[in-house]
Amino acid sequence: MQRYTEDHEYLRLDGDVGAVGITNHAQEQLGDVVFVDLPEIGSTVSKGDEIAVVESVKAASEIYAPVSGEIVAVNEALVENPSLVNESAEDDAWFFKIKLSAPDELQEMMDEDAYKKLIA
Domain borders along the chain are 2-101
Spatial separation of the C-alpha atoms in residues 85 and 63, rounded to whole Å: 13
Predicted TM-score of the model (pTM): 0.95
Residues sharing a CB contact under 8 Å with residue 114, sequence separation 6 or more, in sequence order: 4
Tens digits of per-residue pLDDT, 25-57?
999 999 999 999 999 999 999 999 999 999 999
Q: 2-101 adopts what CATH topology?
A: OB fold (Dihydrolipoamide Acetyltransferase, E2P) (2.40.50)
